[in-house]
Every structure is written in structure tokens, then in C-alpha cells.
Amino acid sequence: MNARKMAWLCAGLLAMTGCAPQGGSQPETSPAGENAVIETILARRSIRKYTAQPVEREKLELIVKCGINAPSGLNKQPWAVRVVDDAAYIDGLTALYTRANPKAAEDPNFRNMFRNAPAVIFIASPADGSGQLDCGLLGENMLLAAQSLGLGTCCLGGPTRFMTDAPEAAPYLEKLGLPEDYKLLYAIGVGYPDESPEAKPRDESKVRFID
């Protein structure tokens, strides 16, 4: 990614999160409490309970735009992104999932296999295993963009494994129209959060500064 494009992306992200410079220059470093980007990163949680409120298409489009502007080695962009907010698709696939996993539906709050999220973003990468780092960077951009827009997210691997392995799910996988040499890597449930989980502790001892 060239310097001009990187500068454009940073400016766009700052504007999106409400911390673009206004009325003068901004200091190069700001305390975390005064930096909307840092606040967004530190506030983001994995959400596993959502309201039934649909996610606006405009927000989903912006989230995906932020995703595909993630860094990519040699700008190969080795990803395929599919966004599903169609209840019929999600409910139909969920019916197959609960038939194969009946215990999942025993939860009285269970509505769908994507943690009840009303929208799902599927990320696929080349079947040879390349591109997974780039897809991780893409996903993190989308998680943070969603957080800044008041939405919750959760990265999901189980649903994509079911879609890949279960023969009965093949029509739903086919409908995504992935390139022939790609496979599903993970999915992101997106919706308006119906919970406010506390942050889980992070092990700072795993970080060292080398002098």
C-alpha cells in the first residue's frame, strides 16, 4: 500500500470515528481517553446476544469498505467477502444446523446459528492456505468499524465449518458464489448488541520491549 493510500485510509478512519482534526492541528499522541480510535479498540467486545433490529445496509457497506482497505501483502487482496442480511437465508440454514445439532435449540433465547445476529459477513480465502493473514487484518478493520458505528460483532468459526462439511448445507454455500479455488475461513455476526460484557483480562507479561 503506497503512502498516499495509507494517508487517505487513516484520514477516513479518523473521520469515521469522530477524531479528525478540527480547527487546528492535533498532537501526534493523545491520551487514550481523548483518542476515539483507541477508545474504540479498547471498548470492543465479542457480542453473543443481539436485538432483533436489522442492521442498515449503509452501515454494512461502510463496514465492508473499511475491511477491504486493510493492508494486503503486495496488494493481492486474497479475500472474498459476502454479506448476508436476508432472514430467509439465515433461518433456512439455521434449520439445517439445529436438525444436526438439536441441543443448540434448547436455549430458549436461540434464534439463529450466528449468535442471533441479524447480519453475517462471510470471509473466504484461497484454499491453499495463503491469504489468511490478510483476511485477519480485513476482519479486524470490520470489527472496529462496526464498534464505532454502535454495532456489536462476534467472529464465528463453527457456522462456517458446518457450511463446509455438512452436505445438506451445500446449497447455502453455493449461493455465496465464492471463487472456485476459495474456501470459507470465518464469519462475523453483526447486529445491535443486547449485552455489555466486561473485558476479559489480558496477559501483559507476554509483551516485552527489547533494548
Element (H or E) spanning 191, and its range? strand 182-191
Residue given cell 489480558 in the structure block: 202
What is the full per-residue pLDDT of the chain (211 aa) written as tens digits? 444 444 344 444 444 433 333 334 444 555 666 899 999 999 999 999 999 999 999 999 999 999 999 999 999 999 999 999 999 999 999 999 999 999 999 999 999 999 999 999 999 999 999 999 999 999 999 999 999 999 999 999 999 999 999 999 999 999 999 999 999 999 999 999 999 999 999 999 999 999 9
Contact 90, 54 (CB under 8 A): no
Phi, psi of 39 (to 5 degrees): -60, -40
Q: Quote the pLDDT of residue 34.
A: 86
CATH topology of domain 46-197: NADH Oxidase (3.40.109)
pTM for the model: 0.84
Residues in Cβ contact with 70 at an 8 Å cutoff, skipping those fewer than 6 apart: 134, 137, 138, 140, 141
Q: What is the rounded CA–CA span in Å between residue 22 and residue 76?
A: 35
- Letter for the amino acid at 187? A
Give the cell for residue 49: 446476544
**Mapping DSSP to helix (H, G, I), strand (E, B) and coil, where does residue 193 land?**
strand
Q: What is the rounded CA–CA span in Å between residue 129 and residue 171?
A: 24
**Any idea where the domains of the chain sit in the sequence?**
1-43, 46-197
Contact 122, 70 (CB under 8 A): no
Residue-by-residue DSSP string for 54-88: PPPHHHHHHHHHHHHTS--GGG----EEEEE--HH
| SS (HEC) of 114-157 | CCCCCEEEEEEEECCCCCHHHHHHHHHHHHHHHHHCCCEEEEEC
Q: What is the rounded CA–CA span in Å between residue 26 and residue 41?
A: 20
Q: Quote the pLDDT of residue 163.
A: 98
Q: What is the rounded CA–CA span in Å between residue 197 and residue 109?
A: 17
Q: Quote the pLDDT of residue 14.
A: 40
Q: What is the rounded CA–CA span in Å between residue 148 and residue 17?
A: 6
Region label for 24, one of left (φ > 0), alpha (ψ between -120 and 50) or beta (otherwise): left
